[in-house]
Amino acid sequence: MDRSVSLSVGDKHKLGLGKGLIYYAGMPSEKVFSIAQRKWEFPYQAFAWNLFFPIGQSKIRIDGVNIIVDHVTPDEIRLRV
């Protein structure tokens, strides 16, 4: 069953047990949106990177999790995880 998730810029969502976190990082251009992925969290330290996707891409896969992008604006993204 899909979970609907709405993220504003800077909001986070945990992908699942043993998976990383994702943050909506906005739209660096009118045709590209960005999601930051964070993993391997230790006290005072973590690893993170930005992933960039074309605005028309509705299916993405992050950390082995299939995600459907329902709607993207510069301020918010709606996903089904």
pLDDT at res. 1: 55
Parts of the chain with a pLDDT under 70: 1
Number of domains forming the structure of the chain? 1
pLDDT at res. 18: 84
Q: What DSSP character marks residue 15?
A: -
Looking up tokens 């990177």, which residue turns up?
49
Expressed as residue numbers, the domain containing 75 is 4-80
Which burial class, exposed, middle or buried, applies to 22 when counting CB atoms under 10 A from its CB (0-12, 13-18, 19+)? buried
Q: What is the pTM of this model?
A: 0.89
